[in-house]
């Protein structure tokens, strides 16, 4: 992280204005500190996260239209740089890469020696991290760094990362962070947070530092003090977003609702639609599951182990010799949703869902986690297996 | 007769039995010994007597052509050998062979069936004692069928 | 030096196979020593991840004496590529090892109680360290009984030890097999049928159960019928495992990670899940 210098604490928590062009200074300052800067880009009809060098590369004037199973980019009437919700990517792919070599082994006279994978070379700076994504990162922090055994690769990447959050100015059609209490305002877990203020001739960012490192960086940027009106305008942006969530989730008693009804008929019903394609687990910013594959060179002298993202929707996931524990789609969907919304709370003290809506948008058949939860809530006592029907007189 | 009655009613199968019923039952019972290797009964013979083992060990065997007989269960002290006497056509489905020196009470099946028919109270007592044993055997047989220690997939 | 202290829990350490003992046609026991350092202490019920060079890594329970600090013993059945490669090891073969991982049989908490150790098939291997511990401290326990079942006489593990244990006066050992030919003079029948063959006070008994999941379910039903409380019954679960340290998600069994919350779990905690399908 940038070294804090010139009395940075003055700026910690304070609000200042950064004019749109000065966002380039922010990117440059991060690059000068040795960060690889990553931010949103419009590519192949979607907002994705990739290497960012120039603010011209940001998806200016684009927004997205999202619903169950549908996603499309559309033009906005303004040139907002962050005027869309989340796309198929999440920061998970940088902190917890889809594929990662864990180690290499080489045969030696006395057996073999294991060589650990070198630490990641560059530090990452993320620009445009949404409130739900901050929560998703915090959740993965608990998964990978909160237990007795830590994921050393994740920890190294995470500790080195610099996070620039964005308070959402637009809720997506599948967003429900307000219900999950994970957004749309970035409350914690960032170095800097910005709110885009756009309208008329104005195009500024209201900036807030969430760490000494963020404050230090901000101190070097061409900011000007923010007035009460600017702060009120930023509040209004977040309030408007909170009021326009595409979905809602009732979380009251949700944990036991799911854990106590593993044979609810809704699991069969959703299984009849679910393709077990695993899209939801791939796009989900908190899903953490992985598998490993072992390889050798042809001579059998060198071996390596590579870790890949895995999904509880695959048959191999629960394989123990002879067959899969979860062979039906019903049991896999139930595992996914019950893990997200219920078991996660036992395991990590938090829900595993941040209400980002990605699983709804990117489900090819539009299965909606909020609708599935609501259906079980509507009639929790429904019988999973038919228990007979009384006909009165025979 | 007095000692037979006392011994018989001391068998776990008759725990807490009404002594009045015991006195009726004893008329159907006799005391038996089997040397190791001796058969208590063989498949397809009429099932006209069943056994309450007092000591020893009895193997239930099924013979399969071209293979050694398969032992499908063993029964020891306190257990009952034989169920086919309960249901027509009253013929044994297995062989029962003593694998150790075995002492048992033999109960005359026709005698007991008649007494149950005549005295439903006695019949119900017998049912309450026999049914749990039979259900337990059925469940055990199902577990053996599962071949839980086998290699699934091979 | 402690051979297990690796900064990265995913990094195996090389261990050499010192001795191989054939237990049955497809099961061997391996004695393992680290190339560097000494074996670390383990608790009965814990397991290691064993890695066959270039082929893969699988969870295998420790089956040796926890009081023997000179080596790790593992008892492996060849069922597939990785376990097959491990079971084919010969003295001198080097395997990768991570561990020990997982929870333990509650042998300390069981002190003062009668103890029933109930194993089916290969399940005797993860229980053997508990048996060693209990026998080494038999004065701390009430009655001690080992109930063991396998498919047939040829599949019984640890013959010599079973014979030695049967000869002891401070424990009862009952063995049964699912099927046998008449040359077998022991019992034929299922493991739950052994429960009423040994003496114990159900109100003051701790039972440790390991075996195939179906065998566990029937055995626990038998223990319940005998009057043993659910929270005095402990079982060892098996689930797919890729990491053994709570990071890969594979071993989830409801809210529990079998690798770190188990493999030994109190039965009352998992009773509902164990009865349900496909959890
Ligand atoms: C806590 C625990 C303790 C165990 N202790 C022993 C032991 O002491 N001795 C022993 O012989 N076996 C033990 N097993 C089972 C052993 O791990 C499997 O037999 C082994 O994983 C099979 O791998 P494979 O590649 O040879 O077979 P395959 O059937 O080809 O398996 C393919 C892959 O699936 C996974 N897998 C398959 N079966 C299992 C399984 N039962 N458990 C977990 N993952 C599995 C593994 O990743 C394996 O590499 C234990 C399993 C667990 C979970
Ligand atoms: S479960 Fe769906 S809505 Fe919840 S965090 Fe994952 S992708 Fe987002
Ligand atoms: S929902 Fe499935 S893939 Fe996602 S973390 Fe849970 S078990 Fe893993
Ligand atoms: S084996 Fe990876 S989480 Fe348990």
**Segment A129-173, tens digit of pLDDT:** 999 999 999 999 999 999 999 999 999 999 999 999 999 999 999
Q: A278: CA distance to ligand 2 center in Å?
A: 13
Query: Which two structure tokens, joined as six digits, stand for B39?
Result: 């058969």
Confidence check: pLDDT of A386 > 80: no
- Whether residue C120 sits in one domain with residue C96: no
Q: Which of C118, C238, C116, C121 is nearest to C178 (CA)?
A: C121
Indicate whether C232 belongs to any domain: yes
- Whether residue C216 sits in one domain with residue C120: yes
Q: Can you give the pLDDT at residue B74?
A: 95
Q: Which of A85, A272, A289, A56 is nearest to A167 (CA)?
A: A85
Contacts 24+ apart (CB under 8 A), A42-48: A42/A73, A45/A72, A45/A73, A46/A71, A46/A73, A46/A87, A46/A88, A47/A73, A47/A84, A47/A86, A47/A87, A47/A89, A48/A87, A48/A88, A48/A89
Q: How close A224 gets to chain C, by Cα (Å)?
A: 45
Q: C49: CA distance to ligand 1 center in Å?
A: 10
Structural domain total, chain B: 1
Find out whether C195 and C223 touch, Cβ atoms under 8 Å.
yes
Q: Can you give the pLDDT at residue A4?
A: 44
Nearest ligand for residue C254 CA: 3
Indicate whether C219 belongs to any domain: yes
**pTM for this model (two decimals):** 0.92
- Phi, psi for residue B97 in degrees, rounded to 5: -130, 135
Choose from A104, A314, A321 for mutation: most chain C CBs within 10 A.
A321
Residue numbers of the domain that contains B17: 4-149
Confidence check: pLDDT of C5 > 50: no
Confidence check: pLDDT of B153 > 60: no
| Ligand 1 pocket, residue C59 CB under 6 Å | yes
Confidence band of B68 (pLDDT split at 50, 70, 90): confident
Confidence check: pLDDT of A10 > 70: no
Confidence check: pLDDT of B115 > 80: yes
Residue B68 CA to residue C180 CA, distance in Å, equals 9
Indicate whether B113 belongs to any domain: yes
Confidence check: pLDDT of C2 > 60: no
Residue C74 CA to residue C69 CA, distance in Å, equals 14
Q: Among all residues of chain C, which has the CA nearest to that of A309?
A: C248
Indicate whether B154 belongs to any domain: no
- Whether residue C128 sits in one domain with residue C85: no
Indicate whether C276 belongs to any domain: no
Q: Please name the chains neighbouring C, where neighbouring means 3+ C-beta pairs under 8 angstroms.
A: A, B
Confidence check: pLDDT of B150 > 80: no
Q: Can you give the pLDDT at residue B152?
A: 44
Indicate whether C208 belongs to any domain: yes
Q: How close C166 gets to chain A, by Cα (Å)?
A: 33
Q: Identify all chain B residues contacting C122, using CB atoms and an 8 Å cutoff.
A: 149
ipTM of the complex: 0.92
- Quickly list DSSP for C219-274: HHHHHHHHT--GGGEEEE-----SSSSSSS-TTEETTEETTTT-SEEEHHHHHHHH
CATH code at position B102 = 2.60.120.10
CATH code at position C72 = 2.40.30.10
pLDDT in tens, C28-80: 999 999 999 999 999 999 999 999 999 999 999 999 999 999 999 999 999 99
Indicate whether C163 belongs to any domain: yes
| Ligand 1 pocket, residue C101 CB under 6 Å | no
**Terminal CA-CA length for chain A:** 79
Find out whether A354 and A370 touch, Cβ atoms under 8 Å.
no
Residue C220 CA to residue C239 CA, distance in Å, equals 19
Choose from B74, B79, B135, B149 for mutation: most chain C CBs within 10 A.
B149
Q: 């044993």: which residue's tokens?
A: B133
C179 and B148 within 8 Å at the Cβ level: the answer is no
Mean pLDDT of chain A: 93
Strand partners, B57: B76
Q: Can you give the pLDDT at residue A392?
A: 62
C54 and A343 within 8 Å at the Cβ level: the answer is no
- Phi, psi for residue A68 in degrees, rounded to 5: -55, 115
Q: Can you give the pLDDT at residue A11?
A: 66
Q: Identify all chain A residues contacting C7, using CB atoms and an 8 Å cutoff.
A: 152
Lowest mean pLDDT among A339-353, B59-73, C9-23: B59-73
Find out whether C239 and A320 touch, Cβ atoms under 8 Å.
yes
Structural domain total, chain C: 2
B39 CB-near residues (< 8 Å, 6+ apart): B95, B96, B97, B98
DSSP C186: S
Q: Which phi-psi region, left, alpha or beta, contains residue C102 (left: φ > 0; alpha: ψ -120 to 50)? A: left
- Whether residue C128 sits in one domain with residue C65: no
CATH code at position C161 = 3.40.50.80
Residue A328, classified by CB atoms within 10 Å of its CB into exposed (0-12), middle (13-18) or buried (19+), is middle
| Ligand 2 pocket, residue A218 CB under 6 Å | no
Cite the beta strand spans of B35-148 per DSSP E.
Answer: 39-41, 49-55, 57-62, 70-76, 80-81, 95-98, 102-108
pLDDT in tens, A22-51: 999 999 999 999 999 999 999 999 999 999
- Whether residue C96 sits in one domain with residue C127: no
pLDDT in tens, C87-101: 999 999 999 999 999
Mean per-residue pLDDT, C240-259? 98
Residue A154 CA to residue A394 CA, distance in Å, equals 66
Q: Identify all chain B residues contacting C183, using CB atoms and an 8 Å cutoff.
A: 68
By most ligand atoms within 8 Å of CB, the mutation choice from A279, A340, A342 for ligand 3 is A340
Indicate whether B77 belongs to any domain: yes
- Whether residue C123 sits in one domain with residue C93: no
Lowest mean pLDDT among A1-10, A81-90, A141-150, B95-104: A1-10
pLDDT in tens, C81-139: 999 999 999 999 999 999 999 999 999 999 999 999 999 999 999 999 999 999 999 99
Residue among B72, B73, B146 minimizing CB distance to C214: B146
- Whether residue C148 sits in one domain with residue C91: no
Task: Decide which of C57, C77, C101 is a domain's last residue.
Answer: C101
Cite the beta strand spans of chain C per DSSP E.
Answer: 13-24, 27-34, 47-52, 56-61, 72-77, 94-101, 114-120, 144-150, 172-177, 187-188, 205-210, 233-236, 252-253, 256-257, 264-266
Mean per-residue pLDDT, A183-196? 96
Residue numbers of the domain that contains C65: 13-101
pLDDT in tens, B32-50: 999 999 999 999 999 999 9
Confidence band of B1 (pLDDT split at 50, 70, 90): low
Nearest ligand for residue C78 CA: 1
Lowest mean pLDDT among A59-63, A191-195, A295-299, C242-246: A295-299
């Amino acid at each position: 992280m940038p070294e804090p210098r010139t009395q940075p604490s003055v700026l910690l928590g304070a609000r200042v204005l950064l004019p749109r062009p000065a966002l380039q200074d922010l990117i440059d300052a991060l690059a000068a500190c040795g960060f690889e800067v990553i931010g949103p880009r419009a590519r192949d009809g979607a907002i994705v996260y990739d290497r960012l060098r120039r603010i011209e590369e940001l998806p200016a004037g684009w927004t997205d239209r999202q619903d169950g199973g549908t996603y499309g980019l559309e033009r906005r009437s303004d040139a907002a740089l962050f005027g869309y919700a989340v796309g198929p990517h999440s920061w998970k792919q940088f902190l917890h890469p889809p594929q990662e070599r864990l180690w290499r082994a080489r045969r030696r006279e006395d057996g073999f020696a294991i060589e650990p994978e070198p630490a990641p070379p560059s530090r990452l700076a993320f620009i445009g991290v949404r409130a739900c994504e901050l929560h998703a990162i915090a959740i993965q922090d608990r998964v990978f760094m909160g237990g007795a055994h830590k994921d050393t690769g994740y920890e190294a990447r995470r500790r080195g990362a610099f996070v620039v959050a964005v308070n959402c100015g637009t809720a997506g059609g599948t967003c429900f962070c307000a219900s999950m209490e994970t957004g749309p305002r970035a409350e914690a877990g960032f170095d800097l947070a910005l709110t885009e203020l756009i309208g008329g001739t104005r195009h500024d960012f209201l900036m807030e530092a969430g760490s000494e490192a963020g404050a230090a960086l901000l101190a070097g940027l061409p900011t000007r003090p923010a007035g009460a009106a600017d702060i009120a305008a930023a509040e209004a942006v977040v309030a408007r977003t909170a009021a326009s969530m595409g979905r809602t989730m009732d979380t009251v008693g949700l944990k036991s609702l799911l854990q106590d009804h593993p044979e609810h008929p809704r699991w069969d019903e959703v299984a009849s639609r679910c393709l077990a394609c695993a899209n939801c687990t791939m796009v989900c910013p908190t899903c953490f599951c992985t598998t490993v594959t072992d390889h050798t060179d042809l001579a059998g002298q060198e071996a390596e182990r590579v870790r890949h993202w895995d999904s509880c929707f695959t048959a191999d996931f629960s394989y123990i010799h002879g067959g899969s524990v979860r062979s039906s789609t019903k049991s896999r969907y139930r595992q996914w949703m019950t893990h997200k919304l219920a078991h996660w709370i036992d395991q990590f003290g938090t829900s595993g869902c941040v209400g980002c809506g990605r699983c709804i948008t990117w489900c090819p058949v539009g299965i909606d986690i909020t609708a599935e939860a609501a259906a079980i809530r509507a009639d929790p006592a429904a019988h999973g297996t038919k228990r007979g029907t009384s006909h009165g007189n025979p | 007769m007095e000692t037979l009655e006392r011994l018989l009613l001391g068998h776990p199968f008759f725990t807490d039995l009404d002594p009045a019923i015991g006195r009726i039952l004893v008329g159907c019972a006799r005391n038996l010994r089997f040397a190791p290797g001796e058969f208590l009964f063989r498949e397809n013979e009429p099932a006209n007597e069943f056994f309450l083992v007092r000591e020893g060990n009895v193997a239930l065997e099924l013979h399969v052509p071209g293979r050694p007989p398969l032992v499908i269960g063993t029964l020891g002290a306190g257990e009952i050998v034989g169920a086919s006497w309960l249901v027509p056509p009253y013929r044994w489905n297995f062989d029962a062979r003593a694998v150790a020196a075995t002492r048992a009470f033999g109960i005359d099946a026709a005698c007991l069936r008649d007494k149950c028919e005549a005295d439903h109270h006695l019949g119900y007592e017998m049912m309450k004692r026999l049914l749990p044993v039979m259900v337990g055997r059925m469940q055990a047989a199902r577990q053996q069928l599962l071949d839980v220690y086998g290699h699934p997939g091979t | 030096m402690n051979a297990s202290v690796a900064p990265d829990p995913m990094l195996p350490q090389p261990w050499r196979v010192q001795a191989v003992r054939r237990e049955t046609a497809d099961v061997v026991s391996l004695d393992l020593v680290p190339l560097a350092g000494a074996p670390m202490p383990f608790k009965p019920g814990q397991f290691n991840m064993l890695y066959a060079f270039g082929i893969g890594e699988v969870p295998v329970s420790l089956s040796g004496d926890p009081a023997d600090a000179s080596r790790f013993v593992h008892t492996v059945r060849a069922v597939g590529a990785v376990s097959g490669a491990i079971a084919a090891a010969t003295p001198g073969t080097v395997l990768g090892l991570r561990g020990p991982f997982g929870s333990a049989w509650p042998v300390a908490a069981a002190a003062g109680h009668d103890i029933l150790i109930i194993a089916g098939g290969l399940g005797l291997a993860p229980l053997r360290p508990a048996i060693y511990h209990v026998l080494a401290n038999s004065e701390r326990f009430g009655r001690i009984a080992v109930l063991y079942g396998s498919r047939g006489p040829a599949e019984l593990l640890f013959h010599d030890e079973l014979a030695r244990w049967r000869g002891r006066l401070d424990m009862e050992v009952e063995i049964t097999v699912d099927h046998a030919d008449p040359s077998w003079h022991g019992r034929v029948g299922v493991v739950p049928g052994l429960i009423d063959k040994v003496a114990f006070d159900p109100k003051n008994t701790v039972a440790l159960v390991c075996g195939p999941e179906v065998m566990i379910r029937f055995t626990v039903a038998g223990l319940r019928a005998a009057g043993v409380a659910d929270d005095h019954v402990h079982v060892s679960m098996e689930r797919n495992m890729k990491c053994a340290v709570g990071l890969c998600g594979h071993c989830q069994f409801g809210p529990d990670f079998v690798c770190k919350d188990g493999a030994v779990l109190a039965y009352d905690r998992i009773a509902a899940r164990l009865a349900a399908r496909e959890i």
